[in-house]
Structure 1
Amino acid sequence: MTSKTKLLHVVSVAAILASGLATGAQAQSLSELEAAAKAEGMLTTIALPHDWCGYGAVIEGFKAKYPGISVNELNPDAGSADELEAVRANKDNKGPQAPDVLDVGLAFGPAAQAEGLVQPYKVSTWDSIPDDAKDAAGHWYGDYYGVMSFLVNTDLVDNVPTSFADLLKPEYAGMVALAGDPRASNQAILAVMAAGMARGAEPGKAAAEEGLKYFAELNKAGNFVPVIGKAGTLAQGTTPIVIQWDYNALSARDTLNGNPPVEVVVPSDAVLAGVYVQAISAYAPHPNAAKLWMEYLYSDEGQIGWLKGYCHPIRFNDLAARGVVPQEVVDALPPAENYAKAAFPTIDQVNENKEVVVGGWDSVVGANVQ
């Protein structure tokens, strides 16, 4: 194992998540599961952009491994709240608009469980998923994490900002955007908390309140652009600076391939890590295909697929300890120091932040992000 790998895999997700209670569904025979999934013939996903965590290649890998199962992709740009609403809206619908599986922000997993929107299932690699990164019953479990960063178009930005404090400077007028609607997008909701943490507030309610004040100031100064930032809007100059997860920023950098040139910066005043979780809809029209999808995602192949997309998979420690991560993948990863100083909010802190940000964005900031 390289020294870089060692540095990366020491990052702990301890204290991120609350534990579940009951014993959940156990993984069944993979051959039986595959046969049942192929009989269903389809898997319906939602909110999986192909440039997010390498999902394009991951989906193709799943289809190649399990021919005969088509993947129906719903609304790739949906936020976590939109995913839960799609489950609610399609409880009695067994058609193509009903999602089978979810990939949502940490706060949305327990919320979906409490509402009865997800069903338990334990993948065959269950024991190598850290206990503090999963519901003990298997209703949801961590899939990957990254840290909040800035994606900067250096054709348009002369002085690359290195902190949230920098973004308030007059030179960034009309430049700064979020990568989602902070009333629905987990990525944007946590960007607000990161901004609050940059001002010294503790993760949770305090950072949410301070983060809303920060974005109100950013908006009043004319620096905030109420447009959902993407690689395309960054390249066009609509949003020259986008606040987003580092893995999305790095993927956008690769996609743009120097046109325009960009830099990815982890802000010096707040290194916030964000965990996402996987779950199966309680109303999945294709429950066996959903379980097989989970098995693929949590296999070594699926986990390394996410890693190739710059996302640190939840089983990274296990992969690194067994020496199964290809060296070229390790070499392409961001610097280890990006993660060594990262703060992992607890589930209570993430929930507190979500409630304050979603409830207060319109009244405090007043910018309608679209």
Structure 2
Amino acid sequence: MGRIAAPAAALSALALLLGGCAVTPSSDGAAAVDQDAPLGGSITIACGAMEDWCQAMVAAFTEETGVDADFVRLSSGEAVARMDAAKAAPEFDVWHGGPVDGFGAARDAGLLEPYESPNADVIPSEYRDADGYWTGVYVGALGFCSNQAVLDELGVDVPTSWDDLLDPRLKGQVSTAHPSTSGTAFTTLWTQVTRLGGEEQGLAYMKQMHNNVLQYSKSGTAPGQIAGRGEVAVGLVFSHDCVKYQEEGMTDLVVSFPSEGTGYEVGGIALVAGSKNTAAAQAYIDWALTADAQNIGPTVGSFQILTNPDAVVDPRMVELDDVELVDYDFAAASAAKPALTARFDAEIAAAPKE
């Protein structure tokens, strides 16, 4: 699946950002904009991408609009848990970044409310929730982030198959996050379910790989750093995270993809239900969907594929047409996530290694 061309659209965010607005509920439950009220206030973002990406985004939005914006960096599972715990008095206004499997779980729990940004029309339809609960801001492919020096010491080739990760020589040499906390790791789990034909088969593969896993990290980006430091041979991350670490000096890292097919993420943005400043939160979403906002990512080493067709294409971004992708069903993944991660906890993560 490659980038899909779409016609450039006149972006209406600037008028919204400069003119300000207030929001009141409409008859269908979505928010309606009052263009005459001031924007003002402050917002807090639950941010699921890299820390420097989050910082650059909120700083640019504040500079552009004068709205105070802050963020808390959270993995997907943490974000849903925090939003659910504070459902009566939400601490966040927007969720920005992280795989939309988690956004679907949050939607089903009543933690998000629909908002169809005027800037969403330019985003390809497969990167948007049909009911307006989230819109995609970037796309990334799951891959292997390997340390060539460690592989050489072990006498193991760069992995190009999921079965390669089951090699006994890689015992304690694979790093992955925990699918209960990490959207990246849940993508890994759901990829196995998809490519192998069912939950039982997917869990069986994860149980086999468990024997080679050093530890399950909380954050989905951590395995790339662990591999980069030479603590393991292979980390399972979205490939753009591995490229970021390469660019930051971890030159032993190499990116590869499984020939049988791999999963991918659509990184989303959504309005948190009960936001204390819905007008500013909507303005942030509108802004985040523009090409200018999305172009901030590569300036801080985040090389995801961008969903706005007018955004810049960096040569360090993966070409999805060159990667074999599984038929990743985001709606099915979201629906299955609570029960499937509970089974992973009970049947795999807690199990002794052979």
Q: TM-score, normalised by structure 1?
A: 0.75
Matched, 1:346 2:329: yes
- Equivalent positions of 1:26-175 (< 5 A) are 29=35, 35-36=38-39, 39-40=40-41, 42-50=42-50, 54-66=53-65, 68-74=66-72, 76=73, 78-93=74-89, 98-103=91-96, 104-158=98-152, 159-175=157-173
Task: Specify which of 279, 288, 291 is matched with residue 282 of structure 2.
Answer: 291
Total equivalences in the alignment? 319
Q: Is the 8 A contact 2:61 2:287 kept in 1?
A: yes
Task: Provide the rounded CA distance (Å) in 2 between the counterparts of 1:28 and 1:139.
Answer: 20
Of the structure 1 ranges 180-189 and 304-313, higher mean CA displacement relative to structure 2 is found in: 304-313
Task: Specify which of 187, 208, 214 is matched with residue 225 of structure 1.
Answer: 214
Task: Provide the rounded CA distance (Å) in 2 between the counterparts of 1:164 and 1:51.
Answer: 29
Task: Specify which of 333, 338, 347 is matched with residue 364 of structure 1.
Answer: 347
- Equivalent positions of 1:157-236 (< 5 A) are 157-158=151-152, 159-178=157-176, 180-197=177-194, 200-202=195-197, 206=198, 208-220=199-211, 223-228=212-217, 229-236=222-229
- Measured after TM superposition, the shift of residue 65 of structure 1 is 1.9
- Measured after TM superposition, the shift of residue 367 of structure 1 is 4.2
- Equivalent positions of 1:231-250 (< 5 A) are 231-250=224-243
Task: Provide the rounded CA distance (Å) in 1 between the counterparts of 2:59 and 2:105.
Answer: 30
Task: Provide the rounded CA distance (Å) in 2 between the counterparts of 1:147 and 1:173.
Answer: 25
After superposition, what is the alpha-carbon deviation per residue over 1:115-160, rounded to whole angstroms, capped at 9, x for unaligned? 3222222222122233443344432222322111011122212222
CA gap of 1:190–1:119, structure 2 versus 1, over 3 A, is same
Q: Is the 8 A contact 2:242 2:253 kept in 1?
A: no
Match of 2:20 in 1: none
Q: Is the 8 A contact 1:80 1:184 kept in 2?
A: yes
Task: Specify which of 317, 322, 326 is matched with residue 333 of structure 1.
Answer: 317
Task: Provide the rounded CA distance (Å) in 2 between the counterparts of 1:90 and 1:297.
Answer: 25
Match of 1:313 in 2: 306
Task: Provide the rounded CA distance (Å) in 2 between the counterparts of 1:234 and 1:312.
Answer: 23
Task: Provide the rounded CA distance (Å) in 2 between the counterparts of 1:219 and 1:169.
Answer: 12
Structure having the higher strand fraction is 2
- Measured after TM superposition, the shift of residue 358 of structure 1 is 0.6
Task: Provide the rounded CA distance (Å) in 2 between the counterparts of 1:86 and 1:256.
Answer: 34
Q: Is the 8 A contact 2:145 2:242 kept in 1?
A: yes
CA gap of 1:60–1:344, structure 2 versus 1, over 3 A, is farther
Task: Provide the rounded CA distance (Å) in 1 between the counterparts of 2:32 and 2:328.
Answer: 29
After superposition, what is the alpha-carbon deviation per residue over 1:234-274, rounded to whole angstroms, capped at 9, x for unaligned? 2333333111111222222222342xx21011221222222
After superposition, what is the alpha-carbon deviation per residue over 1:57-103, rounded to whole angstroms, capped at 9, x for unaligned? 3333223323x4333222x2x32232122222223446xxx111113
Structure 1 SS opposite 2:208 = helix
Task: Provide the rounded CA distance (Å) in 2 between the counterparts of 1:334 and 1:105.
Answer: 17
Task: Provide the rounded CA distance (Å) in 1 between the counterparts of 2:331 and 2:49.
Answer: 28
Gaps of 5+ in 2: 7-27
Gaps of 5+ in 1: 1-6, 13-21, 320-324
Alpha-carbon RMSD: 2.9
CA gap of 1:271–1:285, structure 2 versus 1, over 3 A, is same
Q: Is the 8 A contact 1:148 1:194 kept in 2?
A: no
Task: Provide the rounded CA distance (Å) in 2 between the counterparts of 1:116 and 1:79.
Answer: 19
After superposition, what is the alpha-carbon deviation per residue over 1:300-340, rounded to whole angstroms, capped at 9, x for unaligned? 11233346622223333xx2xxxxx44xx43232245335x
- Measured after TM superposition, the shift of residue 23 of structure 1 is 8.2
Match of 1:256 in 2: 249
Q: Is the 8 A contact 2:104 2:334 kept in 1?
A: no
Task: Provide the rounded CA distance (Å) in 2 between the counterparts of 1:123 and 1:27.
Answer: 11
Percentage identity across paired residues of the two chains: 19
CA gap of 1:266–1:356, structure 2 versus 1, over 3 A, is farther
- Measured after TM superposition, the shift of residue 11 of structure 1 is 8.7
